[in-house]
Structures are given as structure tokens and as C-alpha cells.
Amino acid sequence: MQKYLLGLLGLLSFILQAQECPEIEAIMVDACGTEPLNEFVIISTGDGFEIDNLQFGFHPTNTGGGAQNANINDGFISCGLTAGNPDVYTGCNNIIPVGPGDSVPADAYLVLQSSSGADETYDFSDLCEDDACIYVVANSCTRTSGAFTNKDTNSPGPRNNTLAISGTSCQNVETFNTEDLISNADGNYFIPPNTYGISNPDPCVAPPIPPAQGTVPVFDEFQPICAGDDSPLPTISTNGVAGEWVPEFNNQETTTYTFIPDEETCGTDVEVTIEVVPNEIPEFSFTTEFCESQNEFPALPTTADNGIEGTWEPEEISEDNFTYLFTPATDCSEETSIVISFEAEEEPIFNLPSEICEGESFEFPTTSENGISGSWSPEFDAENSAEYTFTPNEEFCASTVIVNIEITTQNLSSIENQIPGDLELECNQELPEVPEIDLTEVCGVAEINFEETNEPGDCPIIETITRSWEVIDENEEILITYSQSISLLDNNPPFFTVLPPDETLDCDAEWPEEALVEAEDDCSEVSISVDEEVIEDPDCPQNFTLIRTFTATDACGNEVSEQQIIEFIDDQGPEFDSNLPNSLQVECGNIPPPSTPDVFDACGEVIDLTLTENVLDNCEDGKITERIWEAIDNCGNTSTYVLEIIEECQPIVYEGISPNNDGINDFLEIENLECFPENNFKVFNRYGKQVFHTQNYDNQLRFFDGTDQSGKELVTGTYFYIFSYSNSSNGETKTKKGWIYINRETN
């Protein structure tokens, strides 16, 4: 029991030592501005904590004078906490207010404002290097007396200040002596255990403690990954710092990444390297081909040629399975399939004599004609007929061969082996040469007589050639006759030597003449036939295709065909009479009525003729009426004829005005001035005296309203005008004259 208690106490001691508690780093004792409102305590956060668990006890001499001066979250009567005022601290980018319900991270600074209502500015620039975060919380009470006793007071002596985190064993008591404060000036501070403000302090500067450091993100150890795996990089560290990684994750190469914390997390950058292991493919070089008759197989290797270990499924080679799966023991190696094949035994091929003359020597070949090596047994016996066995070497999947060799005094098999077999040749192939029969290894034969005969045949055999060899013995008797039959075949069709090309003709073109066609055959005469077929277009009767099929046939009925394609195409629209005019110039308003133009189609008929009129205003040429006729033939081809009717544009000058300000005819309006912006307008009385003149009359800024050049009203009566204008297209100047009646009478 005693050992158990000692062990438990040791474990508790280890836990207490491992826990990093918050501590008081500095106290602003003699505050700037209003003393009770602007004092503060700087606390290092240790492992971090919840704001709701923060407790702070002031020295008893500083808690009198009412509940507003009580401790914070400590005791029956106490003050609470509220979010601090960060605006009173300058020089830092990241001063963050926190309050109930919030928490502060590890390894940060928390400023505890000992009273609500802080209003004096302090310079914190030396406290927050590298954009580290500083958190601010405030007493919810507004103190009426100072939280910390200054120098030169009526009650000198030590002052205890207690920081605690409820629910934990963390408690930090720091004591300063008022008599040790350097002076009674604003800005004097206490830094535990025994550092005090200077005699001439800068009153509104943070105490000179080490600057706040950003939170170092902590991550679990990163293990190597396989190429192609997903990213193992978390966006939140194990100690709660959020951020992003750069560069972008690469799952193909080993890369070093930098974790950049989000600005509000106040963390520092961290680098990690992710090792990417290539995905290796196991490589094997063992034999995968075996004979079907094989009974024993080698064991499958559990280590690949490139060092990858693993297991096989199935574990052993057998004739029941063809595919074997190798599963590597390492995660980054891929499974590999090996196919085992079982070959059928190949039979060695030999061209051996069946007979050998008695007493002659003979040596068996050790490699067959199809490349199989081996050995023969027993040894050759030149005196006695015997059976011989060929056994292939182990590296060949081949069967044994047994041959019988007869020892004879009359060896005809050597001759038989030299006689070629029957042949079938195409009629255009060359005949093989007649072989000379070698009698050096033949016994009992005196000579050989050769004869060749030809006989015509029926298709596809057009001729048969028979070659004969008579074997004569020493008594001039025929021992045997060997023969070879060569059949000449005609299976190939003729071939064309001259063919006409394909053509495309207009629909009204003349019918093409007979084409020149020639063909040849290697074996016989050739006849040529021609077949013509016309295919009409159901949508356009003028479009049709003439297909000429040429067939060449030889004496055995072999034939070949080729075609000539001749297309007759109607792709032209109807034609309008070439004598029709393209333009017509008329006086204004004298447009003639439309008349139907002459139009025809070369191959078909015109099935539709439509007219469209467009009116175009053109100040240079006048008003243009565009008449467009569209003709369509029965194949859908179209063509158009356009006639432009041009009416000359002229100015129109009205003959009277009534300038009585009733909004009707109060000035002289001239129409079509937009076509003649350059003009000259003059008005004369009946005595020929000019009473009004203006350049570039425009009905807006320059116009005649019944007043003379000086602005005096002209009397009722008849006046005369001269209007000169220029045609903008050719620069020609024209003049228009007339009269104007001014009526000033009112009804």
C-alpha cells in the first residue's frame, strides 16, 4: 500500500511538473492617465486556458472602497471579466480582445486590464515583434481606486498579487514592495521577481519584457507516403493553429512544405518535408514456360529481382493454374501478375535415309531441322538394320523420335529422297529445274533415264507436265520408275492496263463517247464487256450519275471489274436576260411600276420568281429604290437580278409663314437639308432689297422667322428668296428661287 501511494504521488508530481501554468510577467503599477482605469497586468499564458477560469486577487489594501474594487472571479463578492479594449495599445498589428467564453492559446501574452473603461494609450511596439498576437481582457468592474499601490504612499510595504486558473493547480503569487519602485512618476512598473521601473520612465510604454512570440504549430511526425497518395498535411495543427501549406502538395516527388498560419492564429511558419516513395513494380526473370508433360516445377521466388519481398497466390506452380499474383510486403510496391504457359511438346524433324548401303559410314545429326538439339542412341551399326532413338536436351520442350534404318545391298531410298514431289503452279510461274540425281550413296543401280511430257487440261488446270525417272540396274533392267506431276493453274483474273478517269459534267453537256479500255491476262486471251447504269437524283431530275462497269474475263472465267463514274450536275441558277439594266435614274416621285424580267434555266425550269423592294436614303445620289428579283429552278438553285432606281434628292422650301408664336409655321422650314448642309439663304422685299441672309440654313439655329437681319419684324406681305446649295457627291452648286408670304394677321 505504501509503495502504491508513493507511486501515485510520483505520477502526480510528474503531471504537475509537465503542466506549464500561466505566470505574471509584468504589472503597470503607476499608470498613465486616470490611475484606477489604466493599470494592467501582462500574463504569459503557459499551456493556454479558458478565460472563464481566470482568477486574479489584488492585495487586500487595494480591494476596499466598495464591490467595484473587489478581486476578479475570486471570492463571494468579486468582479467578473469582459472583453478588453485593444484600442488603447498601439504599435501592434494583432491585439485581440477576448472575454467570457473565449480561450487563449499557449505561449502567448494576455493583458489583464484591472478596470473597465481603460482610456489611456500605451505604446506596445516593443512587445509584439514578428506580428505576434497579444490578447486583452478587462475587469468587468470600473474601479474607483488603484489596483496597485504606488511609491510614496501612507501604507508602504509588500503587495501580494495572485494569479490562478480555476479547476487546475496553477497559482502564481508575485509580490512587489512599494518602497522599491524607482519613483512616483507615471509608467513605473514591476517585473517579477525584482525589476522595477526607471527614475525617468517613458510613462506610456509597455514594460520591457521579452517580446511576444508567435505560437509554434505542432504536428505529429509525418511518415513517408507512396507516390499518388492523398495529402497528409492537415490545415490545423495539433495545438489548434489553422493555416495553409505552400507550395501545392505534390504526391510524386519528395518536397519541403511551409505551413503559414492564418493571421488571426498568431502562429509562426513551420517547415516539414514529406518523403514520397516511388511505386515500384516487382521484376522477375524466372522461366514462365514449361512443357505439358512436365511433372516437377521450380519454387516461385519470394524476392523479386529488384529486391521486393512478398507472397504468391497460388503459392506453387501447377498445371491447374495459369496466372499467379505476387503481393509485395511493402505498401509502395504494386501487385504483379505472372502468366505461366504450358507448351505442347514439339516433334523433332529429321530428313534421314531409311536405307543405307551395307558397310557405309553414317553420322546422325545432333540438331533437328526445326532447331532441337539432342543425342541419339544406340551408336550407328553399318552392318545391321536397327532402331534408333533421338532424345532432346532438357532445355527443349520436345518429344523423342524413333527411326528405323535398314542396311541394304540395293539402296533405292536415297534416289527416292531426291525425287521432288508433285507441284501446283500458277501459269505465270517459272518451272523448277530438273534435279540431277546423285548416285554416290546408292548401291545396285547402274543409271537413271529422265523423260518429260506435256498434256493440256481443263480449267483451272490448263496444262499438266509429267517428269519421269527410270532406275536401271546393272543388268539393264528397270528396277522402279519415279514420277513428278506439275499442274499449271489459271486462278488469277486479268488486269486492266487502260481505264478512263471519273468525270463531272454540267447538266447540259453532251453524252460522253465510248471510253478506251484495255486489259491483259498472263495465261489466256481477254474479253471486255461494258454495262451502263443511270442513277437519277429524286430531288433534282437534272442531276444524275452514269456508272460504266467494265468487266475483263479470261479463258478460265476469271474476271475483274472496274467502274467509271460520270456525274451530271445542275448547280447553276436560272439566268436573267443579260440586256437588263442594273440601275435607272428618274426624277423625284417618278418611279416606274415593276415589270417581270426575262429569265430562263439551261437544264430545268424556273419554278418561282419573287420580287423584294428596299428603299435606301442616300444624300449623295438621292433616294434609291432597290428591286431584287430572285429566281429558283426545280433543283433549288437560285440567282438574283438587282435594279437600282435612283430619285434625285432636292430641297423643298415652303411658301409661307405666320410668325405669331402659336407654334405653327412660326418659321420657314426647308426639307431635306440633311442632304445639303452647305447652303446660302437670302430673302428680298418686293423692291429687291436684301432683308435677311444666313449661311448653312438648318431649321434649328439658323432659320428665317419673319425678322430682318437686325431682328426687326418684317411686315405682312410677299418676299422673295434665293437658296443656293451644294451637292455633296459632286460639289455642283445649284440655286432654287421662289416667294414667301409673311402673314402676321391673327384669326
- Predicted local distance difference test score (pLDDT) of residue 8: 39
pLDDT band for 217, please (50, 70, 90 cuts).
Answer: confident
DSSP state of 416: H
- List, in sequence order, every residue forming a beta bridge with 404; answer none if it has no partner: 387
Contacts of 725 (CB under 8 A, 6+ apart): 651, 676, 678, 679, 680, 733, 734, 735, 736
Q: Alpha-carbon distance 109 to 104, whole Å?
A: 9
Q: Using alpha carbons, select from 689, 693, 678 the residue that is nearest to residue 719.
A: 689
Burial class, 58, CB count within 10 angstroms (exposed 0-12 / middle 13-18 / buried 19+): buried
Confidence of residue 559 (pLDDT cuts 50, 70, 90): very high
**Cβ–Cβ under 8 Å, residues 368 and 350:** yes
pTM (2 d.p.)? 0.39
Residue 133: exposure state from Cβ atoms within 10 A (0-12, 13-18, ≥19): buried
Angstrom distance (rounded) from CA 111 to CA 117: 14
CA distance 80 to 415: 127
Q: Please choose, from the candidates 361, 365, 362, 404, the residue with its C-alpha nearest in 3D space to the C-alpha of residue 385.
A: 404
Q: Which three cell numbers stand for residue 663?
A: 407654334
Backbone angles phi, psi at 725, to 5 degrees: -145, 160
Mean pLDDT of 76-96: 90
pLDDT of residue 334: 84
Determine which helix (DSSP H) or strand (DSSP E) holds 6, and give its type and residue range.
Answer: helix 2-18
Quote the CA–CA distance of 51 and 42 in Å, as a whole number.
Answer: 14
Closest CA to 66 of 49, 78, 56: 78
Quick: pLDDT tens for 6-34. 343 343 443 444 579 999 999 999 899 99
Instruction: Check: CB of residue 468 under 8 Å from CB of residue 481.
Output: yes
496: helix, coil or strand?
strand
User: What is the biggest distance separating any 2 CA atoms in the chain, rounded to whole angstroms?
Assistant: 165
Peptide bond into 193 cis (omega under 30): yes
Enumerate the H helices of 406-477 as residue ranges.
413-416
Each residue of 476-525: pLDDT tens digit?
888 899 999 999 999 899 999 999 999 998 888 888 888 899 999 988 89
Cα-Cα-Cα-Cα torsion 572, 576, 579, 580, nearest 10 degrees, comes to: -140
Q: What is the pLDDT of residues 649-688, one digit of tens each?
A: 778 888 899 998 888 899 999 988 877 888 999 999 999 9
d(Cα 374, Cα 393) in Å, to the nearest integer? 5
What confidence category does residue 618 fall into, taking pLDDT thresholds of 50, 70 and 90?
A: low
* More confident position, 382 or 128: 382
Which tens digits make up the pLDDT trace of 234-275?
999 887 788 999 999 999 999 999 998 887 677 788 999 999
